[in-house]
Amino acid sequence: MTVKIGITGGIGSGKSVVSRLLEVMGIPVYISDGETKQLMMTDSCIRSELTALLGEEVYAGGVLNKSLLASYLFGSPGHAGQINGIVHPRVKEDFRQWVCQRAACRMAGIESAILIEAGFADEVDVVVMVYAPEEIRVQRAMKRDASSRELIEKRIRSQMGDEEKRKLADFVIVNDGETPLIPQVLGLITFLSQNNTYLCPPKK
């Protein structure tokens, strides 16, 4: 039985670094952000439902009209829920199929900034939060995205707070630039290896 690891954390926390370390150690990771963008282009159900909601112009020229989608998303608090209701179920199903295709793997991961908020915590056996102090997150995101502090801080405020996320996580990996990452990731893998039966009891 494959142990499914959910990797989450706010913008600039370094969850992608942890995901890459897991992959280097032989654990495949489903990067939900990239897969979601791909599905929004290729999944016929998503395309038809978004077209019904936003009109033909949402796929004008055969590509997703991101500006139109963003305009709708931020136009009203309820709009994000509508879009998520269309997209998230298809992403969950895609992840399930992805895991099935890797049934030979003892472990597999999914990386998502909104793992908990989107209800994906139910799809995994353990939730791992990657944590970094807010100022470090701001500096990393500003450098990575060539963005302003104001915009990054606004994005941080729009996400679930670290303390709330920490309470809901099974493990916390500290990525503050000082605490070594590799020993923490190895410790996580060791724990999961030793508790595989407990985490994934055989189905009756």
Q: Which residues are annotated as a binding site for ATP?
A: 12-17
Question: For residue 43, how many other CB atoms are within 10 A of its CB?
Answer: 19
Residues belonging to the binding site are 12-17
User: For residue 6, which of 169, 203, 185, 175 has the smallest C-alpha distance?
Assistant: 169
User: What is the C-alpha to C-alpha distance for residues 84 and 50, in angstroms, rounded to an integer?
Assistant: 11
